Amino acid sequence: MPTLLATRYARVVVDVPIPQPLDYTLAFADAAPGQVCVVPVGRRSQAGLIVEVRDSSAVDAGRLKAVASVVDEVSPLDQPWLDFTLFAADYYQQRWGEVALPALPPMLRSKPGPRFAQALARLRRARLEAPPAATPVRRRLNAEQQQAVDVLVAAQGFGVHLLFGITGSGKTEVYLRAIEDRLRADDRSQILLLVPEINLTPQLEALLRGRFQEAGVVTLHSGLPDGERSAAWLAAHEQRARIVVGTRLAVFASLPALALIVVDEEHDPSYKAGEGVRYSARDLAIKRAQLLGIPVVLGSATPSLETWAAAQSRRYQTLRLTQRAVDEDAEPPAIELVDLRPPQAQAGSAIAPAVAEALAATLEAGRQSLVFLNRRGYAPVVACDACGWLSRCPQCSTFAVFHKTDRTLRCHHCGYAERAPRSCPTCGNQALHGVGHGTQRVEELLRELLPTARVMRIDRDSTRKRHAAEQAFDAVHAGDVDVLVGTQMIAKGHDFQGVALVVVLNPDGQLASHDFRAPERLFSTLVQVAGRAGRGGHASRVLLQTRFPSHPLFAALARHDYAAFADGQLAERRSANMPPYTYQALLTAEGRTMEAALGFLREARDEAPAEPEVRVFDPVPMALQRLAGVERAQLLVEADRRGPLQAFLRAWLEGLRARRSRIRWQVEVDPQEI
Ligand SMILES: [Zn+2]
Ligand SMILES: [Zn+2]
């Protein structure tokens, strides 16, 4: 008998939309599942991930290509990580490689070249840029916090814990104690802390580094340069870092000794990916915890209705924090509604007299004000009264926003930009005017209104440069700003100690939205903004300008009664058979004409497999019908149980993929915007 080494085979996933892992022959004796490799795919070679090593292949060995090289300088991803990414791919109806490869750091995703080993050594040595550690302050826990910590410390195995605490109730301190306990219980254990916003990571990282100096804290988010992201990923993978703080993509970090996951502000829409694989990092965090048999903590003052429903039905355990942590006797700030209807306010004025007075009084008292407006730019649209011309984006079914700082018209959807015209492009009228208010215009108004105040604006436009946001927030914390005006960016999480007045300028737009999730989002945004007031323990006010002062949403908000609001919304959702009482998926199509997009979806609907439990709706144009020059339409499918919906989608999409249509289409499971 010839003494031949038995041929081994590797099953490899690559970032290509092909259904199954590919088989290759494997000449590397110590290659293992979870290892990154380079394989030929068609005529090219690219990075792949070995997901299985076996002694046989269903494909004839003579027809198989060989794995070209194996990256053995980096230890393999472990089996739980492979299982987790496979789950995510299946659930979101994607190919395994399309989820697993993009989850790897840039350095591993690009084909490792000849200098890979040196590059790797550099990354391992890299001192990661990090904010200085904050002075560790162990805040005394109140009784509710202590109770929550006790439950989390005692938690064994998988369980979802909803930390439902009003803003300022000290959720972070509860996380820190729970983390401390897990780190101490096992000197290998690792922690994953997810946050909704990149700008919140420096503050948290500093806090964590102050408290857990020895643990090694790294940050993972999409704003990091490739090298830093790779270095941070590697530190977590090699267990040099025990704490990872990150935005949604961090849910895929390699954490071989993961012992606890915390999802802060779990209701935040940014946990849902808006492009590529449309995963929910919150939902995947829960699944990852379940697969590993570890606890997961979801923190929020306004839990998502999905989470709220699970907590009400006791699938999740609720831990309540009802008091402000700084001063237990302090009432949350009073929320006052300012009626914007004439005669109380002059038509067209953005800031009501009562609000102007409050701003002046706050400045007088030497305290900070925060003015929130969810609209950047100067004016949402420019108009010509003579002929009716409006500044539209030429590529989208929406308006181009006037930016005064650089005198441009910009589309906030597709990025289109042009110089703002001096006169009307249609009739030559010189008297063009901006309609409505964005943050730039409000900033201007505030400077006129309060000439002695130091006014600062924070939005995506003012913080484009790296570290610009950090520096801006530092200035606010240092008390170098009297009035801060900004978008969502200023609402989330920041612990502003000196803010005594919060103003919400125009929340009414969202009341009229067609999206059934709009009220839920508005409520949570407003609670979050209002929560920036009075964090230092002193008296504070929240003023909300509205034309609908008797709207029930505002009434519940003014009572600080999220539970009543959420219960009411859930009752509505139940009677209308909407999520979380039903499960949805959205098929979207893009075409050069709306007819082409709708036509594709109609054919898709007609081809849908028969599944009695799944309801398939008629295709309709999307709310933002035209984006960047393409027409977009959508088709909703729905079922009362996840299982039948998943089975239906699998069969349906297989058929659609086989059609090789020239229409671009994609599916989104659990869509957040419809
Ligand atoms: Zn005109
Ligand atoms: Zn556009």
State in Å: Cα 404 to ligand 1 middle. Answer: 20
pLDDT for 4 equals 54
Question: What is the assigned CATH class of domain 583-669?
Answer: alpha beta
Q: Map out the domains of the chain as residue ranges.
A: 8-125, 143-321, 334-379+436-572, 583-669
Angle formed by the axes of helices 281-292 and 79-91, nearest 10°: 140
Measured CA distances, 630 to 95, 213, 275 (Å): 26, 51, 16
Query: Residue 430 CA: which ligand is closest?
Result: 1
Dihedral sign (CA 188, 194, 198, 203): negative
Q: How many CA atoms lie within 13 A of 524 on its CB side?
A: 23
Yes or no: say if 622 and 632 are a contact pair by the CB < 8 Å rule: yes
Q: Give the ligand at the shortest distance from the Cα of 431.
A: 1
CA of 434 to the centre of ligand 1 (A): 13
d(CA 160, CA 135): 31
3-state secondary structure of 252: helix
489 neighbors 460 (Cβ within 8 angstroms): yes
User: Distance from the CA of 396 to the center of ligand 1, in angstroms?
Assistant: 21
CA 422 to centroid of ligand 1, rounded, Å: 11
Please tell me if the domain spanning 143-321 has the same topology as the one spanning 334-379+436-572.
Answer: yes
What separation in Å is there between the alpha carbon of 31 and the centre of ligand 2? 49
- How many helices and strands (H and E) does the chain possess? 19, 28
Dig out the tokens for 658 from the structure: 């086989």
Nearest ligand, CA of residue 395?
A: 2
Ramachandran sector of residue 216 (left: φ over 0; alpha: ψ -120 to 50; beta: rest): left
- Residue 423 CA, ligand 1 centroid: distance in Å: 8
CA of 456 to the centre of ligand 2 (A): 28
pLDDT at 2: 43
Ligand showing the shortest atom-to-Cα distance for residue 399: 2
Residue 1 is predicted with a pLDDT of 44
Place of tokens 């441009």: 408
Helix (H) / strand (E) element for 354: namely helix 353-364
- Give 415 Cα–ligand 2 centroid separation in angstroms: 6
Tell how far the Cα of 115 is from the centroid of ligand 2, in angstroms: 42
Q: How far is the CA of 170 from the centre of ligand 1 (A)?
A: 55
Cα(250)–Cα(445) distance, rounded to whole angstroms? 40
Task: Output the CA 410–ligand 2 centroid distance in Å.
Answer: 8
Q: 417 alpha carbon to ligand 2 midpoint, in Å?
A: 9
Whole-Å CA distances, 490 to 268, 378, 520, 530: 14, 18, 19, 11
What is the Å distance from ligand 1's center to 382 Cα?
A: 11
CA dihedral 92, 95, 98, 103 (to 10 degrees): 60
Those residues of the chain that have pLDDT short of 50 are: 1-3
Interval between CA 184 and ligand 1 midpoint (Å): 70
- Ligand with an atom nearest the CA of residue 625: 2
Give me the pLDDT at residue 598, please. Answer: 97
d(CA 74, CA 86): 21
CB 295 within 8 A of CB 174: no
Q: Residue ranges of the alpha helices (H) in 313-352?
A: none
Report DSSP state, residue 501: E
Paired tokens of 32 = 């293992």
Centre of ligand 1 from the C-alpha of residue 393, in Å? 16
CATH topology for the 8-125 domain: GIY-YIG endonuclease (3.40.1440)
Question: Does domain 143-321 bear CATH number 3.40.50.300?
Answer: yes
**Tell me, what's the pLDDT at 62?**
83
State in Å: Cα 381 to ligand 2 middle.
13
Cα of 624 to ligand 1 centre, how many Å? 26
Query: Is residue 674 exposed (0-12), middle (13-18) or buried (19+ Cβ within 10 Å)?
Result: middle
> In whole angstroms, what is the distance from residue 500 CA to residue 538 CA?
7
Closest ligand to 624 CA?
A: 2
* pLDDT given for residue 3 in this prediction: 42
420-429, Cβ contacts within 8 angstroms, sequence gap of 24 or more = 420/382, 420/391, 424/384, 424/386, 424/387, 424/389, 425/389, 426/384, 426/387, 426/389, 427/384, 427/386, 427/387, 427/389, 429/384, 429/385, 429/386, 429/387
**CATH code of domain 334-379+436-572:** 3.40.50.300
Beta strands across the sheet bearing 408-410: 401-403, 408-410, 417-419
Residue 376 alpha carbon to ligand 1 centre in Å: 25
Q: Please, how many CA atoms are within 13 Å of residue 473, restricted to the half-sphere of its CB? A: 21
Surrounding ion ligand 2 within 5 Å at CB are 393, 395-396, 411, 413-414, 416
CA of 413, nearest ligand number:
2
Distances (CA, A) of 665 to 128, 176, 459, 657: 40, 43, 32, 10
Contacts of 474 (CB under 8 A, 6+ apart): none
Taking the CA of 414 as reference, the closest ligand is 2
Handedness of CA 195, 199, 203, 209 (dihedral sign): positive
Judge whether 321 and 164 are in contact, CB under 8 Å: yes
CA of residue 199 to ligand 2 center, whole Å? 26
386 CA to centre of ligand 1 in angstroms: 5
Cα of 430 vs centre of ligand 1, distance in Å, is: 8
Q: Give the whole-angstrom CA distance, residue 580 versus residue 466.
A: 39
3-state secondary structure of 53: strand
